[in-house]
Structure 1
Amino acid sequence: MSLIAHLTELRNRVGRALLFVMVGAAVSFWWYDHGLGEFIRAPYCGLPDELRYGGETGDCGLLITDVFGGALIRLKISFIVGVVISAPLWLFQVWRFLTPGLKRNEKRYGVAFVGASSALFALGALLAYLSLSAGLRLLLGLAGEGTIVALTAQDYIGFVLSLLVAFGVSFELPLVAVVLNLLGVLSHAALAGARRWIYFLTVLFAAFVTPTQDPFTMLAMATPMIILFELAIQLARIVDRRRARKAALDSFHALDDDEASPLDVAPSRLDESPDTPGEDERVLSTRSGR
C-alpha cells in the first residue's frame, strides 16, 4: 500500500473506533439512572454509618459543590464506561490495522488477543471493585474519632474510576509480554532470566499506581499480576519450543535433492544407572582379563 492508502486506512479505523466509543458512551449515559450510579456508590454505601456523612440517618449520599458538578460526573462516567464496554470493538479495529504487516500465522491470534485483553481488563476492574470497600474503610478510619468524613461526588467518583482503570490496565501488562513473545521480539530466556526483576518491579508498580496507597490494595493488585506474569513466562516457553522445532524441520527444505542433510554430532546421554558399567568399560575389562 502507498502512504496515502495507509493514512486512509488509519483514518477509517480511528473513525470506526471513535464511533463505537460514542455508542458505548450513549448506552452508559442511559444506564446511569438504571443501576450504574448505584453500582458505583455501593462500596461507599456499604461502609459503617460513622464513616459516612449522614450515615446516622441511614442516608448514603455524596456532596456536589458546584452547579455543573452532576452533569460533568455523569458525562465522565459515561465516557469511561463507554470505552470499557466497547473495548472489544475498537481493539479489533486496532488489530485489523496492524495485521497487514504480520504473517499469516500471526493473524490468527487476533481474536484471541481481543478476547484475552477484554477478559483481563474486566478481571482487574472486578478485583479493584471487590477490594474498594476494604480500602475505603481503612483510609477513612484513619481520620479517627471526632472527625466527620464528607466525600464530594467528584472526589469519590474520580477515586473509584482511577482505581478500576489502574487495575484493568495493569492486568494487560502480562498479555503484552505474551504478544511480544509471539511476534518474536521477546524470548522465553529473556523473561525467565528477568523473573526476579519482574516480580520486584510488579510490586513497586502496584505501590505507585494504586490510588489508596494502602498495603491491602497493593497486594490485591501485585499478587494476581505476578501469577499472570508467571503464566506468561510458561506460555512463552511452550511457544519458543514449538518455534524451535518448526525451525529445525524447515531447515531441511532448503537442501538440494543430492545434498546430505546435516547431522547432530553432539553426544547423547546414555540412560544407564551409575552402578552399571558402560560399553567402553566392559570392553576394557574384557581385554585386560578382569
Structure 2
Amino acid sequence: MSVVADKSSNINVDRLNEDIKLFPQVHPVTADMKLSHKGVSRLVMLDRYSFKDTQKKTLAVGDFVVLTVKADPKFPARGLGFVESIDWSLKEARIKVEPEFLGVLDGEEAETGIVQRGLDAIDKPLEVYYEQIAKRNATGLASVEEATDKKDEWFEKFYHELSSLNFIPAGRVLYGAGANTDVTYFNCYVMPYIQDSREGISDHRKQVMEIMSRGGGVGTNGSTLRPRNALAKGVNGKSSGSVSWLDDIAKLTHLVEQGGSRRGE
C-alpha cells in the first residue's frame, strides 16, 4: 500500500521505504507518522539523530539529503535539499537546496539554489519522521528483556511515551539506541584529574579521544598540571603549562568526529 507523506516535503516515501528494507535498524514510514518538525528543530533531528545511509549505497537522484551548504572551516552551515544529479566518478552531486537555507549561499549558488558538493559532505537520512526514531529507540531500549512478550510490552510503553513527546531522551540516546552501533548513551563525561606527567597526559588524551569518537562530551579539570615554566626535573627543562595542554585537548576534541554526527568544540 502506498504511503502518503507530508506534501510539502516532496519526499518519495514509497522509494524511501524500499531503501529502508536494507537497514534492519530503521522502521519504515507509515501513514500515521506526522512529526517531521520545522526549522532548526527539523535540521537538528535529521542531521544529529536520524539514522543515515552513511555508505550511500541507496543514494539516487531525487533523494532528500542533509548537506554542508557552506563549507566554512570554522563555522560550516548544514542544510537540506534534494539530489539533482550524481557524478559517481568524481564523487560529487548537484543538490537543490531548500529555500530556508539559501541565505548562506553566494553568487550563482544563491541565484539558482543549486550547489555542487562532494559526496562526503552529503548524508542521506532514512528516518525523516520523529516516530521512526522513537520506534528505533523503543526497540533498542526494550531489547534488554529476554522474553519476547516482555520486549513487546516495553516496546509499546517506550514508544507511547516517546512518540507522545511525554519524554525526550538525551541526544546520544536518540542517536544511538537501537542503531546497533558502538556509541555512548551518555551525553557528557567529567574526566578524572590528569596525572601530572607525560604518561598521564597521554592516557588522558587517549580516553578523551575514545569518548568523543563515541559521541560523548568531555569535561576536563587541568588544575593538577604544573604551571608554565615550572621545573621538569626528568628532562632538566621547563613545563609549557597547564593552559597549553588544555588547549591541545580542546583542539583534539574538534578533530574527532563525535559518533559520526558532529565535531567537538
TM-score normalized by the length of structure 2:
0.27
More helix by share: 1
TM-score computed with the length of structure 1 as normaliser: 0.25
Determine which structure has the larger strand proportion and give its number: 2
Larger Rg: 1
